[in-house]
A and B are shown apart, each in its own frame.
Chain A
Amino acid sequence: MWWKSEESKVMALIEEHLKKVEESLKGMMSTIEDYLKGQMDSAESYTSKTRQAESEADELRRTISDLLHRGAFLPIFREDVMQLVGMVDRIAECAQDCSKFITIQRPDVPDDLREDFLKVARDSVAIMSPLDEGVNNLSEDFSITREKVAQIHRMESDVDELEWQLSRRIFSTDLELACKMHLRQLVDMIVAISDIAEDAAEILETLVVKKQV
């Protein structure tokens, strides 16, 4: 179509923004995997890729914000769209923080906990997929967005369960308390992704509710 509404432009940018956020999550995931394998050079290279993706996502967020300021979307939705994009952007920030935490602070992860860390990280990152579909379906079908919101809530609850189990395992080891706290901090950073994704899902829910008559 030769003419695109401001709203369509915003939605296209949001899609692009989501891709960048996913890219940052992939970078974070690779950082964790390579770090746990002991491949530090590769982990550091993925950290810089994560930072690059986060920076590009941030740039897109600013462009979206400019379009919203210029009047894209009805005012009743504008604030929610802005908050949604901001929330999704925070996921990329979390991915960057987590990658930097690993490569700079190098927490000492015991061998028997490595699989648990990977499992929590994979499940926390996996929540991005329904979030992506939920957000993209704002411009297609609200009913799918609602389904995805429900899926995000279920997945976040599963991640919470894993987090709880991993925390118990960390504190039942013979590690120094400082070490335990360090690992606990890493867990918090990983699960922050699913927590923020759930917050974003709540904004999606608000957007869907607002169109009801």
Chain B
Amino acid sequence: MIFKFLPGLYLGWGLGSNDAANVFGPQVNAGTIRYRNAVILAAIFIIIGAVLEGRGGFSTIGGISTLVLATAIIGALAAAITVNVMSHLGLPVSTSQAVIGSIIGLSLLNRNPVDYARLSKIFICWMLTPLGSAIFAFVLYNLLAVIWQRRARNLIMFNSTVKLLSILIGCYAAYGLGANNVANVMGTFVGANLISPFWATILGGISICTGVLTYSRKVMYTVGKKLTPLDPFTALVAVMAEALTLHIFAMIGVPVSSSQAVVGAVVGVGLVKGTNMINRATLIMILVGWILALIGSAVLAYIMGWLVGRWWPLAMG
């Protein structure tokens, strides 16, 4: 029974192992929270986020095109492979874009109608992710800097404030990640009516948590380090802006990329400080990753669907 969800669970595991760095990476690397405590908190709040607010994204993912058992499995598997291959090659990758890409690839193969209005909404949200995150970071930085300067009157206060905020903001970001990204993991299966949204959030949430708990250490220390040159306050503002962006898009019901939200946030705080915190090469790599994830996953799903269709035509619906 659960075997048919394995590609989705594998995708969730990959998502958890990669994206935990975006919610607790800067804090772990800055030493404000231990890795073990960070992943436990992340896992708890990802599940809570997924169960409480993760259902919104299912209709978006499942509503793009008609899905059946085979296309749901192929869609999730193609997305998971794309994410893993790109991560292995060190390319920035978004699970949302890989999932949508695979659904588009399968729709083209089966000549299924695509809901272009829904797809346009998703594309707009993707573009708004780094932009919105940058705006949030810009506003938050300016607002919180005033409060911060008043509160951080001495070294003890500074330490305790940073530690407390690291935990609170990290938990909120984990909540946002669970709420926003669980639809990527189980969206194709809900779209194919193979599982109820409630159980999908539970199963998807658990798979993301498994990734966080079992395989996030390396990414946490490598990806997270890229944000560590930021001072503790700036890093916290960046994670908070990312968390807000993820949460808002979860409420709208569109899964977006947490990595792109973080990059947008870092650019936002860079604007406040008048410094360029992300170089042009990084931005180009993100754009390349954006396009490659979408196209790569679409092509892979198309090929896999075509192969399955050749041997088992009825399965493709």
B281 within 8 Å of A (CB atoms): no
Q: Judging by beta carbons under 8 Å apart, are B145 and A211 in contact?
A: no
Question: Which of B32, B149, B152, B155 is the most central at the interface, judged by chain A CB atoms within 10 Å of its CB?
Answer: B155
Q: Judging by beta carbons under 8 Å apart, are A211 and B155 in contact?
A: yes
Q: Judging by beta carbons under 8 Å apart, are A142 and B162 in contact?
A: no
Beyond A74-B32, A213-B148, whether A8 also contacts B156 by CB under 8 A is yes
Q: Judging by beta carbons under 8 Å apart, are A74 and B154 in contact?
A: no
**In the complex, what residue of chain B is closest to A144 when comparing beta carbons?**
B154
- Identify which of B141, B154, B232 contacts A76 (C-beta below 8 A): B232
Cα separation A212 to B156 with both chains bound (whole Å): 15
**In the complex, what residue of chain A is closest to B269 when comparing beta carbons?**
A213
User: Shortest CB–CB separation between residue B229 and chain A, in angstroms?
Assistant: 11
Beyond A71-B31, A74-B31, whether A140 also contacts B231 by CB under 8 A is no
User: Shortest CB–CB separation between residue B282 and chain A, in angstroms?
Assistant: 23
Question: Which of A8, A11, A76, A211 is the most central at the interface, judged by chain B CB atoms within 10 Å of its CB?
Answer: A211
Which chain B residues have a beta carbon within 8 Å of chain A's beta carbons? 30-32, 141, 145, 148-149, 152-156, 158-160, 162-163, 231-234
- Collect the chain A residues with CB atoms within 8 Å of residue B141's CB: 213
Q: Judging by beta carbons under 8 Å apart, are A140 and B154 in contact?
A: yes
- Collect the chain B residues with CB atoms within 8 Å of residue A141's CB: 153-154
User: Shortest CB–CB separation between residue B221 and chain A, in angstroms?
Assistant: 14
Cα separation A212 to B145 with both chains bound (whole Å): 9
Q: Judging by beta carbons under 8 Å apart, are B155 and A138 in contact?
A: yes
A70 within 8 Å of B (CB atoms): no
User: Shortest CB–CB separation between residue A60 and chain B, in angstroms?
Assistant: 18
- Identify which of A71, A207, A213 contacts B155 (C-beta below 8 A): A207
Q: Judging by beta carbons under 8 Å apart, are A76 and B231 in contact?
A: yes
- Collect the chain A residues with CB atoms within 8 Å of residue B145's CB: 213
Which residues between 6 and 64 of chain A lie within 8 Å of chain B, taking CB atoms? 7-8, 11
- Collect the chain A residues with CB atoms within 8 Å of residue B232's CB: 74, 76
Question: Which of A7, A71, A74, A75 is the most central at the interface, judged by chain B CB atoms within 10 Å of its CB?
Answer: A74
User: Shortest CB–CB separation between residue A25 and chain B, in angstroms?
Assistant: 25
- Collect the chain B residues with CB atoms within 8 Å of residue A105's CB: none
- Collect the chain A residues with CB atoms within 8 Å of residue B156's CB: 5, 7-8, 11, 139
- Collect the chain A residues with CB atoms within 8 Å of residue B148's CB: 213
Beyond A74-B232, A213-B145, whether A142 also contacts B159 by CB under 8 A is no
Beyond A210-B231, A213-B145, A213-B233, whether A74 also contacts B153 by CB under 8 A is no
Closest 5 CB pairs of A and B: A75-B31, A138-B155, A213-B233, A213-B145, A139-B156
Chosen A-B contacts, 22 in total, with CB atoms closer than 8 Å, are: A5-B156, A5-B159, A5-B160, A11-B156, A74-B30, A74-B159, A74-B232, A76-B231, A76-B232, A77-B158, A77-B159, A140-B153, A141-B153, A142-B152, A142-B153, A142-B154, A211-B152, A213-B141, A213-B145, A213-B148, A213-B231, A213-B233
- Identify which of B153, B155, B160, B233 contacts A77 (C-beta below 8 A): B155
Cα separation A34 to B82 with both chains bound (whole Å): 82
- Collect the chain A residues with CB atoms within 8 Å of residue B160's CB: 5, 7
Q: Judging by beta carbons under 8 Å apart, are B155 and A7 in contact?
A: yes
User: Shortest CB–CB separation between residue B265 and chain A, in angstroms?
Assistant: 15
Cα separation A210 to B155 with both chains bound (whole Å): 10
User: Shortest CB–CB separation between residue A148 and chain B, in angstroms?
Assistant: 13
A171 within 8 Å of B (CB atoms): no
A103 within 8 Å of B (CB atoms): no
Q: Judging by beta carbons under 8 Å apart, are A75 and B30 in contact?
A: yes
Cα separation A212 to B133 with both chains bound (whole Å): 23
